[in-house]
A and B are shown apart, each in its own frame.
Chain A
Amino acid sequence: MIDQIEENPTHIGHVLRASTNGFDFGTRGNVIDERHSFGSFVLAEIAGAGEACYAIGLIYAIRIADDPFVRELVMATEVKESTLKDQRHNRLVPIETLVLNVGYVYEGGAIVHSMPPRPPLSLTQVHLMPPDWVVAFVAKQDFFRMVLNAGEVPSDDLLAAAVRHAAQFQPDEQAQADYMVRCGRKVASLLTGDLKRIAHILNLMKA
């Protein structure tokens, strides 16, 4: 599995800052695309592990910082194509993507739904999680609790987006339907007594 990471062309950024709870990674503005989507699963190697170990996280926010220069440009009546290219490709405007840790995985393949033992170090490469890893990870829904209880993140929307993101990688329609039912039941069991929230999340999952 680790080899897959090394060969995977899904390198999507480098860690800027991190804790065991989550990490932020930076990307240049010109390379942001569908891989940097809210609710996507990402991986970053954990510092100092004896055997290779990766933190598994969910993208919960993407921030494009402005600067005084950009603020001036948006006031112009017209932004020329050359200027757009210059701003997006030449200028080093980083995009910050924020990630919530929901688990980690060892080289041997053991998956743990818990906070990683250590955070990834600054400048560690961040990868999009391969589809078969996503399927393996969501086979259990223990990480749902971590998402629902996370502070400072839009938990309900994030959980629904993660469920939808993982659903597309299920092998067939029947597996996808079964998976969605399992996820719905898990949400219902975790939020017993809060019917409005359950209904809200289930609606978001279906969207």
Chain B
Amino acid sequence: MSLEFTKIINDIQNMGRYLAYRDREALIDKALAILNDKGADLDFVKNRVRMVRESDVSGYRGAAPPPDAVAQPLNAVIPPPGGQARSTLIAVDGSQVYPNFESSSLYYVLNIGVLVYRHGTDEMPHQETLPGIFYTDGYILDETRQVISNRTVNSRRTVAEIRMLWHQARHLSREPAPRIAMHDGNLLKFFGGSDITDGSSLINEYMGLLVALQDAQTTLTGYVDNPRSSYLISLLHLLDLEPEHISDAMLRTNGEIEGLSDADVMARLLSPGERSVLMVQNSPANYEYKKFNPSHEIAVVYINTSDTKTPHIARLDVPMWVALDNDALDELHRVVLEQCRMQGMRPYPYGLTRADELAYISGREREQVESLVRRELIRNNSVQQSNGSAKANSKVFGRDSHKQGHRLGGFPLDRSSN
């Protein structure tokens, strides 16, 4: 009698999941062993990083210890600081409508949302949005008269978000409370690549804004939820290699612990509320930041934002001027925990959730913008441009599904008599 596969297929699927889980746990055990053994020796870590920096090995993109003043053993954990947060959090996020060849004209829309939340007070948070529509050739076309890419719009939105942080920080600079400016995403921005128009001017403006935020004595952070980065894993792999085996080829992967992310290890290392030690990413981009201004090299810490047994790991990017300030880092730690715990079972900064909500441009709003643009084009006799595509027009007919009739409308009220 042949094997009835239908009767064991579920078990095989379960077996696959179990083995994958078991193997992953074994990998994490291995990573933690390296962390607690070799990562605990800060001099050993520094020597290993120095080896790859000073040799002809160029492919190392893992973590490195920060400057000596704030360097600690890699396996150290920082408990949640006591006391209540007293800072003013400025949280920002953005949304966009990309240029669309099917619309009546070429334009793009940015909407930046910001929430200002004053910790340690009962004040109502301040909310603000900054929408803008960009339609002139200078904005829409690149130097070859081609329409700009979506990545260009994203990059401009990112710079607009940081600009908004700076405006708010400057506005609040007269208040005694410390200011924390929080951006949704990493801080190590790279506006290079052939498909980003004016990337160099964007990076210059971004760097200028970092200077301005530092001058405004603002704690800047980039919040990365559910990070996939593996800077620490790469460093652990480097620590585990024999010196003679250190080469670009060996550093191309993370060896035995390939596939793990830093968050996997941090989820086991950090108890609720704890954060990791500071690290910096060893990369050409970060080196450029450091060359521009040593205060602008980007450091990272991992933090367990959960207050339950189920860990939730986030990454905080901070510029070096924040990393070197223990008080600022402690206050950031407090604010992040307070913000995340406002949201119950899904720890995420309340301010960022609200900023996202403020910035979000819904599908219906996109249609309304397009409708207004079309009306203005017709009013200004730009009829040939205002027709749009037949495809875009025809879509409108099938999408009016949100209307809701009055629920009593179909029911005669006086149905019976006495």
Interchain CB contact under 8 A, B406 and A85: no
Is A196 engaged at the interface, CB distance under 8 Å to the other chain?
no
Is A24 engaged at the interface, CB distance under 8 Å to the other chain?
yes
Closest to B407 in A: A152
B residues in contact with A85, CB < 8 Å: 122-125
Which listed residue, A80, A90, A190, touches B418 by the CB 8 Å rule? A190
Interchain CB contact under 8 A, A152 and B408: yes
Is B117 engaged at the interface, CB distance under 8 Å to the other chain?
yes
Is B414 engaged at the interface, CB distance under 8 Å to the other chain?
yes
Interchain CB contact under 8 A, B411 and A151: yes
B residues in contact with A24, CB < 8 Å: 406-407
Interchain CB contact under 8 A, B124 and A89: yes
Closest to B346 in A: A72
- The CA of A73 and the CA of B346, in the complex, are separated in Å by 9
Closest to B416 in A: A149
Tell me whether chain A's interface is mostly helix, strand or loop, or mixed: mixed
Question: Considering only CB atoms and an 8 Å cut-off, how many residues of chain B contact the other chain?
Answer: 34
A residues in contact with B343, CB < 8 Å: 72-73, 75-76
Which listed residue, B342, B357, B413, B416, touches A80 by the CB 8 Å rule? B342
A residues in contact with B415, CB < 8 Å: 149, 151
Interchain CB contact under 8 A, A90 and B404: no
Interchain CB contact under 8 A, B411 and A152: yes
- The CA of A83 and the CA of B117, in the complex, are separated in Å by 9
Interchain CB contact under 8 A, B342 and A90: no
Stretch among A15-23, A35-43, A157-165 lining the B interface: A15-23
B residues in contact with A21, CB < 8 Å: 406, 408-409, 411-413
Which listed residue, A22, A83, A119, touches B350 by the CB 8 Å rule? A83
Contact mask for chain B residues 394-418; partner A; CB cutoff 8 A; 1 contact, 0 none = 0000000000111111011111111
- The CA of A203 and the CA of B240, in the complex, are separated in Å by 82
Q: With A83-B350, A100-B408, A152-B408 known to touch, is A145 a contact of B414 (CB < 8 Å)? A: yes
- The CA of A17 and the CA of B412, in the complex, are separated in Å by 17
Q: With A17-B406, A151-B413 known to touch, is A192 a contact of B418 (CB < 8 Å)? A: yes
Tell me whether chain B's interface is mostly helix, strand or loop, or mixed: loop
B residues in contact with A79, CB < 8 Å: 342
Contact mask for chain B residues 108-144; partner A; CB cutoff 8 A; 1 contact, 0 none = 0000000101100111110100000000000000000
A residues in contact with B189, CB < 8 Å: none
A53 to chain B, nearest CB (A): 19
Interchain CB contact under 8 A, B124 and A90: yes
Is B345 engaged at the interface, CB distance under 8 Å to the other chain?
yes
Is B353 engaged at the interface, CB distance under 8 Å to the other chain?
yes
A-B contact count (CB 8 A): 99
A91 to chain B, nearest CB (A): 8
Interchain CB contact under 8 A, A82 and B344: no
A residues in contact with B417, CB < 8 Å: 145, 149
- The CA of A69 and the CA of B346, in the complex, are separated in Å by 10
B337 to chain A, nearest CB (A): 12
Is A128 engaged at the interface, CB distance under 8 Å to the other chain?
no
Interchain CB contact under 8 A, B344 and A74: yes
Interchain CB contact under 8 A, A73 and B127: no
A residues in contact with B115, CB < 8 Å: 86
A residues in contact with B353, CB < 8 Å: 69
A residues in contact with B406, CB < 8 Å: 17-19, 21-24, 119
Interchain CB contact under 8 A, B345 and A75: yes
Which listed residue, A69, A86, A193, touches B125 by the CB 8 Å rule? A86
Contact mask for chain B residues 370-381; partner A; CB cutoff 8 A; 1 contact, 0 none = 000000000000
Is B341 engaged at the interface, CB distance under 8 Å to the other chain?
yes
Interchain CB contact under 8 A, A17 and B404: yes
Interchain CB contact under 8 A, B124 and A86: yes
- The CA of A119 and the CA of B409, in the complex, are separated in Å by 10
- The CA of A179 and the CA of B283, in the complex, are separated in Å by 84
Interchain CB contact under 8 A, A75 and B344: yes
- The CA of A145 and the CA of B417, in the complex, are separated in Å by 8
Is A174 engaged at the interface, CB distance under 8 Å to the other chain?
no
Q: With A21-B413, A151-B413 known to touch, is A86 a contact of B354 (CB < 8 Å)? A: yes
A189 to chain B, nearest CB (A): 8
Closest to A75 in B: B344
- The CA of A106 and the CA of B408, in the complex, are separated in Å by 24
Interchain CB contact under 8 A, A19 and B418: no
- The CA of A77 and the CA of B412, in the complex, are separated in Å by 47
Is A138 engaged at the interface, CB distance under 8 Å to the other chain?
no
Contact mask for chain A residues 169-193; partner B; CB cutoff 8 A; 1 contact, 0 none = 0000000000000000000001111
Contact mask for chain A residues 35-79; partner B; CB cutoff 8 A; 1 contact, 0 none = 000000000000000000000000000000000010011111111
Q: With A86-B124, A145-B414 known to touch, is A72 a contact of B405 (CB < 8 Å)? A: no
- The CA of A108 and the CA of B132, in the complex, are separated in Å by 50
Which listed residue, A18, A69, A146, A190, touches B413 by the CB 8 Å rule? A146
List, sorted by A's number, 18 A–B pairs whose CB atoms are closer than 8 Å. Answer: A19-B405, A21-B406, A21-B409, A21-B413, A69-B357, A77-B341, A81-B122, A82-B117, A82-B122, A82-B124, A83-B125, A86-B117, A86-B125, A115-B413, A149-B415, A150-B408, A150-B413, A151-B408
4 additional A-B residue pairs with CB within 8 Å, beyond A17-B406, A146-B413: A19-B408, A72-B346, A151-B408, A192-B418
Q: Which 10 A-B residue pairs are closest in the complex by CB-CB distance?
A: A75-B344, A19-B409, A85-B124, A21-B408, A81-B122, A76-B344, A19-B406, A86-B125, A22-B408, A17-B406
Residues of A participating in the B interface, judged by any CB pair closer than 8 Å: 17-19, 21-24, 69, 72-83, 85-86, 89-91, 98, 100, 115, 119, 145-146, 149-152, 190-193
